Amino acid sequence: MRCVVVMFLGRLGSLNALEQSGGSGFWRRWLQGEPPSADTVGRVCAQAEADDVRLMGRQIYSRLKRGKALAPPAHGLMAAVVDAHESHATYRRCCEGCLRRTIETRQGQRVQYYHRHVTVQLVSRDLELLLDAEPIRPGEGELTAAIRLLDRVLEQYPRAFDVVLGDGLYANSTFFNYVVSRGKEALAVLKDEARDLWQDAQSLFAEMEPTCLRRGRWEASCWDVEGFTSWPQVRGTVRVVQSEERTVIRRQLDGQAEVMEARWAWVTTLAQGRASTRAILDLGHRRWAIENEGFNELATRQHADHVYRHHEQAMLVFLLLAMVCCNVFVAFYRRDLKPGLRERVSMLHVSRLVASELYQSRAGPARAPT
């Protein structure tokens, strides 16, 4: 396990790259020996307990919490973002956990196998933590897996967050009712233009003057109404917030000012007395920031979507380990490095330092990958 942590922190990208770092003085100091072969690491992860890795994640959360590193944003609401990510797609291999879909290819229709996991990420003022992940099983939808995941997250992190955020798929009555029944608030993108709630909100907003919010080069016209009953499957009333946003940017090419426009709508159980319009916009936008920073950081840089071994359990264990490593790395970068140093050194640079330590202190040539 310890060598997999090094693999992720150094963003080595594969078990073979890890194996090639054999002979490094780093391993002799750390493991008093050589790193195991790629096959051995894959086999161990296939037999490892996901709950053991989840426990590591909880210990990191507890330490950060005790160290007051997880303060809520200015609006006071801690959020958990639920989202699904596809890890790998292949025509060649499948396992018991594979999802399948038919793809039109030049050679005709082919069955493609892939895996998807739902993840929960905690959003504090300036630190995001990946809390847990759950595979979407064959034959079930994302929401079923998300509720199974939240059941565990709510048991293990009962007071970590106030509101659950999701994309348009999560604007679903079963999901909203579930979240409310567990004592939390729900917020999701509203984009189903055919639904009564959307139409009711639009006809009401058409007769209202929007309020205007500003921050630097960004401004938004906002409509915010609570008490909607036109989503009868949801117990209680809901609130709809819509924004038309304009951001002035300077084009890099010619320095000309350009206006970027965006339109958003969200449905939420959060009352106006608990979260202002600005708070809803902040929460909604953080969900997309995470799409770009949090999981992207994990998937593209830590190589979490790479299939280290095509085995259902191994893939889950690798993903959970990648999440733990991502958390440690981001917490170290944001909390332990002085701001002045952070301005000069990117996260990628720090990873490369880890990797270069492995390769520089290696005695002799790399072993050929097996």
Binding site for Zn ion (CB under 5 A): 95, 98
- Nearer to Zn ion by Cβ, of 167 and 312: the residue is 312
Give min distance, CB of 242 to Zn ion, in A: 41
Residue number with CB closer to Zn ion (98 or 186): 98
CB of 177 to Zn ion, least distance (A): 32
Q: How far is the CB of 156 from Zn ion (least distance, A)?
A: 26
Amino acid identity, position 157 = Y
Nearest distance from C-beta of residue 316 to Zn ion, angstroms: 11
**287 or 309: whose CB is closer to Zn ion?**
309
Tell me the pairing of strands 163-166 and 128-135. unpaired
Provide long-range contacts, Cβ within 8 A and 24+ apart, for 19-23: 19/367, 19/369, 19/370, 20/366, 20/367, 20/369, 21/358, 21/359, 21/362, 21/366, 22/362, 22/366, 22/367, 23/362, 23/363, 23/364, 23/366, 23/367
What is the separation of C-alpha 234 from the centre of its chain, rounded to a whole number of angstroms?
26
**CB-nearer residue toward Zn ion: 98 or 120:** 98
Which is nearer to Zn ion, 95 or 337 (by Cβ)? 95
* Torsion sign, CA atoms 266, 268, 272, 275: negative
Helix (H, G, I), strand (E, B) or coil at 224: strand
Structure token digits, residue 58: 């909880």
Got the DSSP string for 272-329?
Answer: TTTS-HHHHHHHHHHHHHHHHTHHHIIIIIS-TTS-SSS-HHHHHHHHHHHHHHHHHH
Q: For the CB of residue 110, give the shortest distance to Zn ion in the complex, in Å.
A: 16
DSSP label of 24: B
Angle between helical axes of 2-9 and 312-331 (0-180°, round to 10)? 60
Largest CA distance in the chain: 75
Nearest approach, Cβ of residue 138 and Zn ion (Å): 9
Within 13 A of 237's CA, how many CA atoms are on the CB side?
Answer: 10
Q: Which is nearer to Zn ion, 79 or 84 (CB)?
A: 84
Closer of 46 and 234 to Zn ion (Cβ): 46
CB 15 to Zn ion: min, Å = 17
